Homo-oligomer: A and B are copies of this chain.
């Protein structure tokens, strides 16, 4: 008998038929004799409907009231899931975030979990009940309902797995697991059996979109082993865990492409201390998420600052830079939206040299031009022309033999 936390996302519980299917899965696990805590999201589409109604009554809804509103989405799902389990003879009980003792800070719409009082859940588990918990929500010390922001239900599941000392945490989603590359782009992409937290973190932040980084960070911090798998089939998924020695034998674990990128060039910046600081302070104050940063010194003590931002934030970046341009030399700002970022990730890079050289040579052989380069201990990222991004992914996938286990 193991103690298992399962999490089902919005598409997995999208309507009453899917909820009944999820109940069958839960029952199958329960019938194997395991203790079960199940975290569910709002039915897919519900959160957007609620937000649309909020915007219809008020242009800028208060975050406290948004949390009050959005928390109803998961509350509906937990009740329906518990009922569906009752309908097939499984003893189950639903918990709101507050009832599950998920205490957060007071930052509405993106609260952080502070502590979890898992005693009530432990008691229900002992009596054989399946415990269904609303994902994405908690309560603060003032008794106010809070929500955890994007990917909040994954976070609920992983935090609960740590709190109840679960043997296993299963994140059910609409993909089979984590792949060596996007299978729609790279035909022979392969599902990974295992991946380290650090690799998952780099892939999560690089547009592979399986999970938000902070859930993975939380899992890493509390050493929660979890599995990403599909609720639409019974294939084994990808297990995400602490790095172990054999993982380093694999130099590159996967290739990710992010097409939601814009490249911003601030030209003719005075090449003296404080210029770059002024630029990035202005961007930070405007809540622009800057990713890769490259600086080239040009002629006559003038430099070009180049960086990437999400496409949706490019216009805001330009506006934010306008007031500081004069102070840094009066250069121009240009935006290139027709770019993509390609990254190769693997903890093996720490101990293997020549990975960058191999990648660059392969791309050169294919006639693909590299625009920007940025590297970290376990990742090499390049910016290139959007039209060549998919081809570059296939080249990188092939040169590192990612189709072979």
Residues of A whose CB lies within 8 Å of any CB of B are 16, 19-20, 23, 50, 53-54, 56-59, 61-62, 64-66, 68-69, 71-72, 75-76, 78-84, 86-87, 93-94, 96, 99, 143, 145
Contact = CB atoms under 8 A, between A and B. Distances in A.
A72 B62 contact: no
B79 A66 contact: yes
B56 A16 contact: yes
27 contacts: A16-B53, A16-B56, A16-B57, A19-B57, A20-B57, A53-B80, A57-B83, A58-B83, A59-B87, A61-B83, A61-B86, A62-B82, A62-B83, A64-B93, A65-B79, A65-B94, A68-B75, A68-B79, A68-B82, A68-B94, A69-B75, A69-B76, A69-B83, A72-B72, A72-B75, A72-B76, A72-B79
Given A59-B87, A62-B86, A86-B62, A54 B68 contact: no
Nearest to A144: B99
Contacts of A79: 54, 65-66, 68-69, 72
Most buried by B among A71, A76, A96: A76
Given A75-B71, A76-B72, A65 B53 contact: no
Given A54-B80, A57-B84, A99 B143 contact: yes
Most buried by B among A83, A86, A93: A83
A10 to B, nearest CB: 15
A209 B69 CA distance: 31
A58 B76 contact: no
A57 B94 contact: no
A65 B69 CA distance: 19
A16 B52 CA distance: 10
Contacts of A58: 83-84, 86-87
Nearest to A62: B86
Contacts of A69: 75-76, 79-80, 83
A54 B84 CA distance: 8
Nearest to A75: B72
Contacts of A83: 54, 57-58, 61-62, 65-66, 69
Contacts of A64: 93
